[in-house]
Amino acid sequence: MTGAALFDVDGTLTDTNHLHVVTWWEAFRQAGHTVPMAAVHRAVGLGSGDLIEHVLGGDRDRDQDGVISAAHTTLYGTYFDRLPAFAGAGDLLRTLSTRGWSVVLATSASGSELAALRRAVDADSAIVDTTSSDDVSAGKPAPEPVEQALELAGAPADQAVFVGDTVWDMRAATRAGVRAIALLSGGIPREDLVHAGAIAIYQNAAELLEQLDQSPFGAAKS
C-alpha cells in the first residue's frame, strides 16, 4: 500500500457547495435571520453546529439551532437524486486505488446525505471507508476527522495526502500532520487556501488527475 488518500466530498468530489449555501440561507431565513450568502459560503465545510455558530455568532438563541439544522437537512434532501459529481472525481479515486492508495472519505455529511454523495461520485469500489460527522466529537477544522480517516486507512500521517476545498479542510489536515492539497472547485480563494496550509492547488479533480504524477501523490512514490 502506497499510503492514505483522504478526501473531503462536498466541493471537492461533488459540485454541491452552492446547493448548501442556498439551502442554509433558506433555513436561516425561515428562522428569521437575514444572512449574506457569502458568509454562508465561507462556513460550508463545517459541521452544522459550527456552521450556525460561525454565521450567527455565540450570542444567538441556541434553542433555534436544531430547527435551523433540520430545515437545512430537509431542503438539501430535495436534491439527493441529482447531486452532481465533478468530472474526473470517480476516475481520480479509482486511479489512486489502482496505484495502491487506501482511499478514505472524510466528510461532515452523514446518513442519507453521505449515501447520496457516494452515489454521485460512483466510485465505491475504490473507497476503503468513510468517516462522517457521526464518528467524531469535533469536526473540521479540528484534526479529529483526518485522524479518524488515517486510522481507517491504517496509515501514519507522513504517508497520507488530504484533498479538500475549504480553509477548514486545510487546517484540519495540517493540524493532523498530513500534507494538504486544495482544489479551487469549492469557490474559496487560492490565497486563503495557501494561508490555511495547502501545499499544492489545482482547479478541480480532473486537473489533479491529469497532473497526478507531478502532484504530492506522485512525489510520494519516489
Instruction: Look up the pTM and report it.
Output: 0.95
Computed over every residue of the chain, the mean pLDDT equals: 95
Higher-scoring residue by pLDDT: 109, 18: 18
User: Is the pLDDT confidence value at 200 over 80?
Assistant: yes
User: What average pLDDT score do residues 35-47 get?
Assistant: 96
Q: What is the CATH number of the domain that holds 97?
A: 3.40.50.1000
Q: Do 113 and 215 have their domain in common?
A: yes
Asked if pLDDT for residue 222 goes beyond 80, the answer is no
Structural domain for 64, as ranges: 17-78
Helix H or strand E encompassing 63: none
Cell of 190: 487560492
pLDDT at residue 61 in the model: 93
Cell 504517508: give the residue.
159
- Kindly state whether residues 188 and 124 are assigned to the same domain: yes
The residue-averaged pLDDT of 107-120 equals 93
Q: How many domains does the chain fold into? A: 2
Of the candidate ranges 132-146, 156-170, 205-219, the one whose mean pLDDT is the lowest: 132-146
How many percent of the chain have pLDDT more than 70? 98
User: What is the length of the chain?
Assistant: 222
Q: Residues 119-145: what's their mean pLDDT?
A: 93
Residue 80 exposed, middle or buried by CB count within 10 Å (0-12, 13-18, 19+): middle
For residue 135, the model assigns a pLDDT of 86
* Distances in whole angstroms, Cα of residue 127 to Cα of each of 65, 84, 123, 174, 216: 33, 18, 7, 22, 19
* 52 and 114 belong to one structural domain: no
Looking at residue 213, what is its pLDDT?
A: 97
Last residue of a domain, one of 53, 78, 103: 78
Regarding whether 141 and 170 lie in a shared domain, the answer is yes
Q: For residues 32-45, b (16+ Cβ closer than 10 Å) or e, as one string?
A: ebeeeeeebbbbbb
Q: What is the mean pLDDT of residues 156-166?
A: 97
Residue 136 pLDDT: 85
In this structure, the answer to whether residues 162 and 209 fall within a common structural domain is yes
Residue 73 and residue 96 share a domain: no
Q: What does the pLDDT read at residue 183?
A: 98
Q: Which of 61, 78, 95 is the last residue of a domain?
A: 78
Q: Which residue has better confidence, 134 or 96?
A: 96
pLDDT greater at residue 135 or residue 34: 34
pLDDT band (50, 70, 90) for residue 204: very high
Same domain, 41 and 66: yes
What's the average model confidence in pLDDT over 148-177? Answer: 97
